[in-house]
Amino acid sequence: MIPHEWLDEARQRLAPHIRRTPLSYDALYDLYLKWENRQLSGSFKLRGAFNKVLSLQLWERQRGLVTASAGNHGLGVALAGRTCQAQVTVFASAEAAKVKLEAMRAAGAQLRLVPGGYTEAERAGLAYAAASGATWVSPYNDGQVIAGQGTLALELLEQLPTLERSTWIVPVGGGGLISGISACLKAGEEASWAPTLRKAGRVRLIGIQSSASPCMHHLFHTGDQSQAIVQPSLADGLSGEVEAGSLTIPLVKRLVDDMLLVSEAEIASAIAFAWKHYQERIEGSAATALAAVLSGLVSEKPCVLVISGGNIDPEVHQRLVMENA
């Protein structure tokens, strides 16, 4: 379990560097939507990346920071590195979204493009960090990254009205975000936010992935991801295998209530729905949470949806909106 003190420390550490993102309520669908696409980097990943980098010793930052990313985490690390004057190298798939690659470069990251998908990029990044002595900043397999992501739940608890019960739906890749949220929701009475937590009532926590990359889904239900087939996905930020031995695996299996899958067609439809009904531009990873409700996969209400990011190629977004008119 992530110590509750780490979440308090993360909240204080991050305060000058992140935005408190808005929460809105859709009465028609009985949905609360947490808009992390409005975060300063366009994604919740800024929280974990900044918390990790700021928690490092000076000598750890001076060795250089290395990570692997589909884009959002790498951008967060690049921005944190720029703040701390640390060199950042990001390993990314050569097929990654161009808008995300360009954003990482603009923030000062050195990119190493790797043939294949995120799985191959992560393996290459881990090998480079081990060989070079640079400091590895995992997108999810790190307690300080998880604690940083957990600050999203602390905000949510303060923003939500009193509820008897609710269903929280969270996009899942490597499991860092849902592990941080569960650490917040499962904290004991000694946590500083315990009074606010009691106000939230009973929470059912559901993780959501694309059927095109169901690695954590397989780990959750069978304990083995070797049979998971990874295909190209609109939810690129959730794609790829989970690092073997990741601390998120036992956290997710113990603290999350269920792990579900949505199709690529349902993700595309949810992206278009968010634009038409909320005037919000969201990426495929974020759309998985909304797709779970719109498809009828999750029916327990009210639902709290974590809209995890909005860094989608404008041309892809326009096409999906038109195709799902």
pLDDT confidence of 191, banded at 50, 70, 90? Answer: very high
Best CATH choice for the domain 46-136 from the list 3.30.70.660, 3.40.710.10, 3.40.50.1100, 3.40.50.170? 3.40.50.1100
Closest CA to 179 of 23, 306, 264: 306
What is the pLDDT averaged over residues 16-36? 98
Closest CA to 43 of 74, 11, 86: 74
**237-272 pLDDT, tens per residue?**
999 999 999 999 999 999 999 999 999 999 999 999
Q: What pLDDT score was predicted for residue 121? A: 95
**Residues 291, 21 contacting (CB under 8 angstroms):** no
Q: Which residue has the tokens 């640079």?
A: 134
**Residues 240, 207 contacting (CB under 8 angstroms):** no
Q: What pLDDT score was predicted for residue 301? A: 95
**Residues 89, 77 contacting (CB under 8 angstroms):** no
What is the pLDDT averaged over residues 199-219? 96
pLDDT confidence of 19, banded at 50, 70, 90? Answer: very high
Closest CA to 156 of 38, 36, 279: 36
Task: Give residues with Cβ within 8 angstroms of 249, minimum separation 6.
Answer: 175, 216, 219, 242
User: Has residue 302 got a pLDDT over 90?
Assistant: yes
The domain defined by 4-43+142-323 carries CATH number 2.60.40.10: no
**117-138 pLDDT, tens per residue?**
999 999 999 999 999 999 999 9
What is the pLDDT averaged over residues 102-106? 97
3-state secondary structure of 113: strand
Q: What are phi and psi of 59, to 5 degrees?
A: -65, -30
Q: What pLDDT score was predicted for residue 183? A: 96
Q: What pLDDT score was predicted for residue 115? A: 96
CA geometry: angle at 25 spanning 301 and 275, to 5°? 105
**Residues 35, 14 contacting (CB under 8 angstroms):** no
Domain spans in the chain, listed from the N-terminal domain onward: 4-43+142-323, 46-136
pLDDT confidence of 1, banded at 50, 70, 90? Answer: confident
pLDDT confidence of 110, banded at 50, 70, 90? Answer: very high
What is the pLDDT averaged over residues 157-183? 96
Whether 46-136 and 4-43+142-323 are alike in CATH topology: the answer is yes
Q: What pLDDT score was predicted for residue 59? A: 98
Residue type at 215 in one-letter notation: C
3-state secondary structure of 302: coil
What does pLDDT average to over the chain?
96
The string of DSSP codes covering 191-204 is: STTHHHHHHT-EEE
Beta bridge partners of 35: 307
Q: What pLDDT score was predicted for residue 200? A: 87
Q: How many residues does the chain have?
A: 325
Closest CA to 105 of 86, 126, 88: 88
